[in-house]
Amino acid sequence: MKKFILLGAAVTLSASAALAAISDAEIIELYQGITAEGVNVKIAERGKLAGTNFEQIIVELSMGDQKQKQIMFSDGKYLFPDVIDTKARVSHRAKFEEEQEKARLASNYHKLATIIKSMDKNKIISLGGNANKTLYVFTDPHCPYCRQEIAHVETQLKAANIKMIFAPIPSHGDEALAKAIAIQKECAGVKSDAAKIAIIKKYFDPKAKAPKDVTKEQIEEERKAVNGIFATGAINGVPAFIDAADLK
């Protein structure tokens, strides 16, 4: 699928792009550079910006399953990229983009939650149980920053319960996946946090070798599962921490 970047690059609006009696068609014409490349552009919403004499115009850009919304403002004659309330110190464009980011994250978290619910329970290492807060921790045996986090996991458990999911990044290859599989296998049925942590730390040791009894089929299955996690967009790297409350 062709990838494209919409935000901030699709159209450049000057602070006073003169248009008489601005219509939907005239606004869409501003995007002719990307519509020629197959991007669909439509006016999703128009309405008065509360407390001002401006209209806010929301434009939806889409291509395949990719969608994005942009905002612009009009006084009826000119188009503006932003309206800033100097007294309230509010950028209406920034406010809109913040709301869009929250909506995007909520959607991605929902996708991730669906994957987690379908996962084999042995693929999630649960630690703690006494704290009021629970964190999903996405980690990688070959990640140096993940190793730093694991070194202090006992301290972290004082503040939050942990549900650990292994998501080795692609560049760490089969060995990281094999270690993740070994940890899951050895922790299965283990009740003690101390015993689980010992197993995790054993494989997170930079000198640790990947077990030889992990098959290529198991590694490919694990790779597919990890790719599914990253495909949600909820995490982009490791270590990653997500409050369990955000995945409900």
Residue 193 pLDDT: 97
Task: Please say whether the beta carbons of 200 and 150 come within 8 A.
Answer: yes
- 123 vs 77, residue with greater confidence: 123
Mean pLDDT taken over the chain: 91
Helices marked H in 45-143 — which ranges?
Answer: 92-118
User: pLDDT (tens digit, 9 = 90+) per residue, 141-163?
Assistant: 999 999 999 999 999 999 999 99
pTM over 0.75: no
Alpha-carbon distances of 109 from 227, 229, 248, rounded to whole Å: 15, 10, 9
User: pLDDT (tens digit, 9 = 90+) per residue, 106-136?
Assistant: 999 999 999 999 999 999 999 998 889 999 9
Task: Please say whether the beta carbons of 137 and 149 come within 8 A.
Answer: yes
DSSP secondary structure letter of residue 245: G
User: pLDDT (tens digit, 9 = 90+) per residue, 210-219?
Assistant: 899 999 999 9
Task: Please say whether the beta carbons of 37 and 4 come within 8 A.
Answer: yes
Hey, is 248 helix, strand or coil?
A: coil
Task: Please say whether the beta carbons of 114 and 103 come within 8 A.
Answer: no
Alpha-carbon distances of 14 from 17, 31, 65, 101, 122, rounded to whole Å: 5, 14, 30, 24, 56
Residue 22 pLDDT: 87
Assign 3-class secondary structure to 145-162: HHHHHHHCHHHHCCCCEE
Please tell me which of 16-20, 29-33, 140-144 the model is most confident about, judged by mean pLDDT: 140-144
Q: Is the pLDDT of residue 73 over 60?
A: yes
